[in-house]
Each structure stands twice: as structure tokens, then as C-alpha cells.
Amino acid sequence: MPDSPAGFARPAAPAVVGDPISGIDTPALIIDLEVFESNLALMREQAARAGVRLRAHAKTHKSVDIARLQIERGGACGICCQKVSEAEVMVAGGIRDVLVSNQVVGPARVRRLARLAHQARILVCVDDPANVDDLAAAARAEGVRLECLVEIDVGMHRCGVMPGAPALALARRVLAHDCLRLAGLQAYHGRAQHIYEFEARQSAIGNAIALTRETVALFAEHGIDCEIVGGAGTGSYPMEAASGVYNELQCGSYVFMDADYRRVLDAENRPGGLFASSLFVLASVVSTAVAGQATCDAGLKALAVDSGPPRVHGRDELDVLGVADEHTILADRGRTLQVLDRLWLVPGHCDPTCNLYDWYVGVRGGRVEAVWPVSARGCLV
């Protein structure tokens, strides 16, 4: 089976460094570099002020270039990713401290994970004793050490053992293997990030913190230290950072923001939150033939809609009527738009939107300053 069948190159980048913004082909995934850098700096300061580490989540951007900037300029101690194949891309790109914040199961996948530990510090979440044994066997076979975080279910009900005694039992299973290291706890409540009502979100995270605190205390009673107590995301990190229990934040979306996190932070009445939108889908109007509407060239292939449709940046009066495979349809009652007019769309959800693209186009001062591959796009396994 050929690796690159005829006609199977990556799609070409929609711009070249130095192009004016008007020269970018659409739809394109744009980063406003000024805002992006400001977001990087703000999170670095937030973590430093709280005295916790930042392990930035690369699932948001899937980009080696951005992961490097998070470490070199954004204060991150390392990164998280969600899949072994993503970790392989990140390690190949020079990242030397990677947590796969997920369960890695199956002999082939576990073996691939262990191989990475020759080149980088590799951590992984566990919630199953048999999986712990599999990881140990793979680490032993490779002659490496894998580090494990015992994942506890602090309210998300997706993965993770129950806090308290079940977590302790699993920690002991990890400790029983010389080629594994128990690095601590994973206690992430992803669903709580997206609760719009501040009190409800505070309550959910408060509960997660309490369960985590009890488990850390139980571990301490049994002489087990947690170097890492990790979790938190852009929608909740101030609470975990102030908890005195969590010591590693796993925020990802802060670099870009999206329409859904904007709703979360607006509802909280944090003044716009700290972070501004740096990620846009640049689209062009392709038809105004239907009266009172404009149709643009970015649809489901260019925008994830699982968290709602995009909003039109700076044009709040343009309602989104629908998102089809290749089009977003806008109400334009004032007939202000013409064919080839450009729109800056803020995606509803940044992570799966970025996974639709092969390239980021970084802009500053009206010009293209960077073209970065979405290096781990499509890394599913």
C-alpha cells in the first residue's frame, strides 16, 4: 500500500508569508497573532500568580508550533494531548514532556506509547487495573518508565475510577510495577467548563475540588505523594488554581477562545473574561442571489457546529440562518453584503474546528506573518 497515492498530497496552504490579508484564499483558519500572544502571556501570569504549573492542552490546536510557543513563551511545563498519535507528532516536533490525558488501551497502542518514552517524559491516565498491567509490560519490554496519573471521576462521568478508596487501590496497582511511576491524579471535569451559569459551574467545580482533596488526603495517609494533581480548563481554572489542591492546570482553549467559551465567560460577568478571540474562519460571500441573504463559502467542512453556529465578528446584526456542508447562510436584511465580501467568523467550538484544517494562517498588521501546519490534525488513534 503506497503511503502517498497519486493526488493525495495535503491541500495547499491558503496563503504565503508576506501576503496581504486580502490575498488569503478562503475559507481559511486565521490566528490574530497579537491577540494570541496576549492570551499566552495572560495565562502564564495567571498560573504564576496562583503558584501552579500550566500543562497546556494541545488538543485545542494540534500544532507543534503552538505547543512550542506555549512552552517557550507561555510558561507551560509541558503539554497534554489526547491520543498516542498526537503525542507521536508532538515528540517528533521536539516536545519533551507530554501527558496523554486519556486512557491508552490495546497492545499496539500501549507499545507505541512506551516507545515514545525513549525520547520524552511520557505520562498517561489510567482507570483500569488490567490496563495498568499492560502499560507496565510494554514499559518493561521497551526498557523505559511510564508515568501514570490515576484518573478519578469528579463529576464528568466519562472515564475515571471513583475518588477515594477505588483510586487508592488503582494507585497501589501502579506502585506495584517498577517500570511505572505514580505521578499523581487526573481530576478533570470537562463538562463543567461549559456550564453557562456561574453558580452552577462553581458548584460543580467545588464538588470536583472536594473529591480531589479527599483523595489526595487519603493517598497522603497511606504515604503516597502526588507530584501532579491535574485538571481544569479555560472555563474554570481560577477555581482549581485557588483550591490549594490542584497544582497543574490543563487549559487549552485560552489561546484561541471560541463562541461557546465567550458565552461561558460573558455569563460570569468576568469583563469579557481575560482572553480575547484570536481564532477566526475567514470566509467569502459567494452568493447574494436569494433576497435578504448572503451565503458564504465556509460550512460544516470549515466550522464545527457541535457547540452552536459561528458568530460573525464585528457584525452582530448578521444572524446565521443555517450551516450546510459547504455554506453558512446569513440573514442580511439591509443587503449590506456583496459577492466576494469577507467575513470573520468565530467558530462555536475551536478544537474540532481546528481539526478540519491543514494550515493556520497567522496574521499581524494586515499581513500574513506565519503559516503553520495543523501538525496533529486527523490523529485519531
Residue numbers 221-250 binding a copy of itself by CB under 8 A: none
Q: Does 381 bind a copy of itself (CB under 8 A)?
A: yes
C-alpha cell at 235: 472555563
Q: Does 336 bind a copy of itself (CB under 8 A)?
A: no
The residues in 187-226 that bind a copy of itself, with binding defined as CB under 8 A, are: 190
Least gap, CB of 269 to a copy of itself (angstroms): 27
C-alpha cell at 122: 511520557
Q: Does 22 bind a copy of itself (CB under 8 A)?
A: no
Q: Does 165 bind a copy of itself (CB under 8 A)?
A: no
C-alpha cell at 233: 480548563
User: Which CB, 130 or 365, lies closer to a copy of itself?
Assistant: 130
Q: Which of 161, 168, 249, 279 binds a copy of itself (CB under 8 A)?
A: 161
User: Which CB, 5 or 223, lies closer to a copy of itself?
Assistant: 5
Span of 23-31, 137-145, 211-219, 236-244 interacting with a copy of itself by CB under 8 A: 23-31
Q: Does 173 bind a copy of itself (CB under 8 A)?
A: no
Q: Which of 51, 287, 317, 333 binds a copy of itself (CB under 8 A)?
A: 287
Q: Does 109 bind a copy of itself (CB under 8 A)?
A: yes
User: Which CB, 242 or 290, lies closer to a copy of itself?
Assistant: 290
Span of 42-50, 156-164, 212-220, 228-236 interacting with a copy of itself by CB under 8 A: 156-164
Contact at 8 Å (CB) between 150 and 127?
Answer: yes
Least gap, CB of 216 to a copy of itself (angstroms): 19
Site string for a copy of itself, 130-149 (x = CB under 8 A): xx------------------
The residues in 54-93 that bind a copy of itself, with binding defined as CB under 8 A, are: 59, 64, 82-83, 85, 89, 92-93
